[in-house]
Structure 1
Amino acid sequence: MADDTIHAAGCVLWRRSPVDSALEICLVHRPKYDDWSHPKGKLKRGEGFLTGALREVEEETGYDAVPGAVLPTLHYLVDGRPKEVRYWAGEAAAGRFAPNDEVDRVLWLSPTAARHRLTQPRDRDLVDALLDALRPA
């Protein structure tokens, strides 16, 4: 039997607030699903996970991301098919959000607010994983 796993990738996109340097996490709103999530998407044929993650962040948020630590991979079912989503910490670099077909809004939130705003409980663990990854050794 062929592997019918959906492969996707994304980042927990973060920055330091321009106001007070506090950590902020970017969440995207997808009107098709009316949900709040981390920027992510399906890989293109032959595309590597990290390349896909950075492409999806740029497409959905308008920001380039500087990849950091590998974060947990999520596994779940979508319409009965297994889905694997690999994540990285991604520090926001140059860019500016413009609404598009997939994403109509982004929010930059504190980790606590981001955890509460995320639609899927499985995405909340990624906030904690990011905080662990950014914590000084």
Structure 2
Amino acid sequence: MAGEIAAAGGVVWRLRDGVVEVALVYRERYGDWTLPKGKLEADESARVAAHREVREETGARVALGRFLGRTGYLLGADHKVVDYFAARYLDGEFVPSEEVADLRWMPVPDAVARLSHDRDLPVLAAFSALPADLTTVLLVRHAKAGSRAQWEDADELRPLSRNGEKQVPPVRELAAVYGAERVYSAPLVRCVETVRPVADDIGVPVVEEELLAERKYEGMADAATRRLAEIAAGGGVSVVCSQGGVIPDLVTRVAADSPVSLPRRVESKKGSVWALFFAGTHLVAADYIRVP
């Protein structure tokens, strides 16, 4: 019986003399030039798999960016589906292997001409549709906290529950594959606890932002939206943790004058992440990521 093979990969890019170049790999076994990709391991998310496979096939350490699309094709009796993400080159050197014999960096038009499979063309087209060098904001809803009814102290001191603590490692892992550089949080224990491991990993403080807390956001939504835009304008990759009473409205406001089409109901499950991508202060892409 035919099955489905889940895989993930990336459009690995760098700026060289002001020109965006992307990396193609040559697989001697298949005699083709293609984008780096590979199968998901057990219990692995597509983003983590893309990050790992890019490193294994190209030697590059990358910071993931926006989702670029999914391709599908028959592989023997199975159907292989591949999720692709933009992937900014940070460092690392290519070493030939049994799987990948060669790697070439080239401008996108040259890569389009070199690709062996037409199924890869829409992925490069999606990559080229927006500027490569975007700012990333990972807007995180805090992980599950203990029962409010059973908590006798001030609500802002309520910590994560055991189930909430289990949601923290996936958030930490996502922050790593996106290349987090700064960390912000509403000044609530459960918010700070959700992202403190990220801050510890990269050696930065958690900057507390009162406007991101529900009690301050109500009546000050415009100011909070401006503050998120300021964080985006700082460039790089920021992790921002807030609450369920803030995130759907904040995402809607940020997307109001952008090309991003949001669902009618903007989700924000506990422990989930909105990956927001900005050109300056202008939102140009957004991916919603559910965390187990």
Alignment TM class, shorter chain as reference: over 0.9
Counterpart amino acid of residue 14 in structure 1: W
Q: Which residue of 2 aligns with 1:32?
A: 29
Give the number of equivalent residue pairs: 134
CA distance in 2, matches of 1:124, 1:107: 17
Q: Which residue of 2 aligns with 1:102?
A: 99
CA distance in 1, matches of 2:79, 2:96: 29
Among candidates 120, 130, 133, match of residue 123 of structure 1: 120
Q: Which residue of 1 aligns with 2:8?
A: 9
Q: Which residue of 1 aligns with 2:171?
A: none
Identity in percent: 37
Where in structure 2 are there 5+ consecutive unaligned residues?
Answer: 133-278, 285-292
Q: Which residue of 2 aligns with 1:44?
A: 41
CA distance in 2, matches of 1:57, 1:67: 10
Q: Which runs of 4+ in 1 moved over 6 A?
A: none
| 8 A contact 2:3–2:77 mirrored in 1 | no
The offset of 1:124, in angstroms, is: 1.3
The offset of 1:80, in angstroms, is: 2.6
CA distance in 2, matches of 1:47, 1:5: 15
TM-score (norm: length of structure 2): 0.44
TM-score (norm: length of structure 1): 0.92
| Bigger helix share | 2
CA distance in 2, matches of 1:133, 1:77: 30
SS in 2 for 1:116: helix
Where in structure 1 are there 5+ consecutive unaligned residues?
Answer: none
| 8 A contact 2:8–2:39 mirrored in 1 | yes
| Bigger strand share | 1
Structure of higher CA gyration radius:
2
Among candidates 81, 84, 97, match of residue 84 of structure 1: 81
